[in-house]
């Protein structure tokens, strides 16, 4: 038997005798690591998952504010920074509370700092115009294009809304085709109808 084999068997024997840490201890260690990393400025994006009537939302925040609302397996790491970690940050807690109030019918406007870095140029103009549509109201793609400064760019407006990184808070569900039909929505037509029904939109 070689020295390598002996060493391997010795290691296996020691590992068998070692009691694995329990799940609670691992969770405490993970939380402590996350808090320390955040305190030392090593986390660019903090995220949390949050249950909603639409399903599980992924909320992401940078030091500048809420940057993303989406589903799990989102592109946060790819598009902003690889330093993404599950950390409890106040912007996320505030977003969770306001989303809960919105879905419960107690909130008509969000009061959140937003980080717009996932959009720029005309797309950002479209989303800023969309953010001004009042609760319970709707606007057409053409109208949003006009408000964003390019009245004929209603197709590009549709593309900008389809890529909205902050749905619900930036209410792209309130933008409808001129025909009055629902039109497309990143979360699906049923989710768009549910949001409009919640708001009692025309």
Contacts of 161 (CB under 8 A, 6+ apart): 126, 127, 130, 141, 144, 172, 175
The neighbour count for residue 79, using CB atoms within 10 Å, is: 13
The residue annotated as part of the active site, out of 87, 139, 172, 175, is 172
Q: Is position 163 annotated as part of the catalytic site?
A: no
CA-to-CA distance for 49 and 14, rounded, in angstroms?
Answer: 38
The neighbour count for residue 160, using CB atoms within 10 Å, is: 26
The residues assigned a catalytic role are 172
């Amino acid at each position: 038997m070689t020295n390598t084999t002996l060493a391997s068997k010795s290691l296996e024997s020691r590992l068998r005798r070692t009691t694995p840490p329990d799940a609670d201890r691992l969770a405490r260690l993970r939380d402590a690591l996350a808090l320390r990393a955040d305190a030392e400025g090593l986390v660019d994006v903090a995220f949390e998952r949050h249950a909603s009537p639409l399903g599980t939302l992924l909320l992401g925040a940078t030091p500048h504010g809420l940057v993303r609302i989406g589903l799990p397996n989102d592109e946060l790491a790819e598009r902003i920074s690889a330093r993404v970690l599950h950390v409890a940050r106040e912007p996320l807690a505030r977003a969770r509370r306001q989303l809960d109030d919105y879905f419960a019918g107690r909130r008509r406007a969000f009061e959140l700092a937003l980080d717009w870095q996932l959009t720029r140029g005309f797309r950002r103009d479209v989303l800023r115009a969309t953010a001004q549509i009042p609760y319970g109201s709707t606007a057409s793609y053409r109208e949003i294009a006009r408000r964003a400064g390019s009245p004929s760019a209603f197709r590009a407006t549709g593309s900008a809304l389809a890529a909205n990184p902050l749905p619900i808070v930036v209410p792209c569900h309130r933008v409808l085709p001129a025909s009055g039909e629902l039109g497309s929505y990143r979360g699906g037509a049923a989710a768009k109808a549910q949001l409009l029904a919640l708001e009692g939109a025309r």
